[in-house]
């Protein structure tokens, strides 16, 4: 929460784009769910997995809403195919599916379009304020701090705010809404499998959170070492004449290579973490149970 409070003043001037992004993400989540759900009854009927229904199904209450949806879809496909042929029915169904996916992607693009102004605006203001602070700091500060660290904060660290923290701002709305709409449709279609998901998700979430803490520590090491590389480079360029005068090229090259070697190991350790395999595995297990 303390990081959110620090970033919030930079987000406030661009709140209009935040609201527009939320609006677009609501419809993205809705059409994302509908586009997947709409495929289920069509595939069941078209591939003969469901018994054809020729009479209008009766609505039996919200508890049986999923069955009513499947039965009515079955009835529509069956009767339309009998009256106008399978090609016409398939054309209508494909048109509906394409329209849903088109609307889903359209609102996804709108969400990305609006969030771009927010992210880039915050990045610009953050860099402006950071530069103003750098200029205002006393000379004594720079005698204690390495210039490479300051350059790293202005470049990679500020960029990291855009790539990670501000990306989370978008996911706070998009992902929960997608999950909410998906859960609603799951309850409608299969309450029993929904219960299984609610049991399994906390377990997988706990496992992922443990691995995520390790990722944070490893990511911090990579960022610190990146600052060391920039510091070594800045010091080398600033004192190149002195280095050559004392024939210290080998020593500085060794220090720089040791730093890049550490960065190499830390980066490999971060990117080859089991988090990615575990995350994909848990997602596959969950959705295989749903299907």
Q: What is the pLDDT of residues 5-19, one digit of tens each?
A: 777 788 888 889 888
Mean pLDDT of the chain: 75
Please provide residue 85's backbone torsions phi and psi, each rounded to the nearest 5 degrees.
Answer: 95, 160
CB atoms within 10 A of CB 4: 11
Q: How many CB atoms lie within 10 A of CB 225?
A: 19
CA 102 – CA 277 distance, rounded (Å)? 31
**DSSP class of residue 64?**
G
pLDDT classification of 290: cutoffs 50, 70, 90: very low
Give the mean pLDDT of 114-122: 86
Which range, 42-51, 52-61, 86-95, 230-239, has the best average confidence (pLDDT)?
Answer: 230-239
**Interval 140-159: pLDDT, tens:** 776 655 666 777 777 777 77
pLDDT greater than 70 at residue 108: yes
Tokens of 129: 């304020």
In the chain, where are the structural domains located?
Answer: 191-291
244 C-beta neighbours (distance < 10 Å), count: 10
């Amino acid at each position: 929460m303390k990081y959110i409070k620090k970033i919030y003043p930079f987000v406030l001037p661009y709140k209009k784009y935040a609201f527009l992004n939320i609006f677009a993400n609501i419809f993205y989540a809705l059409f994302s769910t509908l586009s997947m759900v709409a495929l289920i009854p069509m595939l069941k009927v078209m591939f003969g997995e469901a018994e054809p229904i020729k009479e209008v199904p009766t609505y039996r209450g919200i508890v049986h809403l999923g069955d009513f949806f499947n039965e009515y879809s079955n009835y529509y496909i069956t009767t339309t195919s009998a009256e106008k042929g399978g090609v016409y029915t398939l054309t209508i169904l494909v048109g509906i599916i394409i329209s849903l996916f088109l609307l889903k992607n359209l609102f996804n693009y709108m969400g990305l379009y609006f969030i771009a102004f927010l992210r880039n605006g915050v990045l610009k203001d953050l860099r402006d304020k950071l530069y103003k602070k750098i200029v205002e700091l006393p000379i004594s500060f720079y005698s204690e701090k390495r210039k490479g660290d300051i350059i790293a904060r202005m470049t990679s660290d500020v960029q990291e705010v855009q790539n990670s923290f501000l990306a989370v701002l978008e996911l706070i709305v998009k992902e929960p809404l997608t999950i909410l709409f998906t859960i609603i449709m799951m309850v409608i279609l299969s309450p029993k499998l929904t219960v299984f998901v609610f049991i399994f998700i906390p377990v997988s979430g706990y496992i992922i959170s443990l691995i995520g803490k390790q990722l944070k520590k490893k990511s911090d090491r990579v960022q610190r070492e990146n600052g060391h590389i920039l510091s070594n480079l800045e010091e080398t360029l600033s004192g190149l004449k002195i280095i050559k005068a004392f024939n210290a090229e080998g020593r500085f090259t060794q220090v720089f290579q040791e730093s890049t070697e550490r960065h190499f190991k830390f980066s490999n350790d971060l990117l080859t973490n089991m988090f990615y395999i575990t995350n994909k595995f848990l997602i596959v297990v969950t959705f295989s149970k749903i299907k």
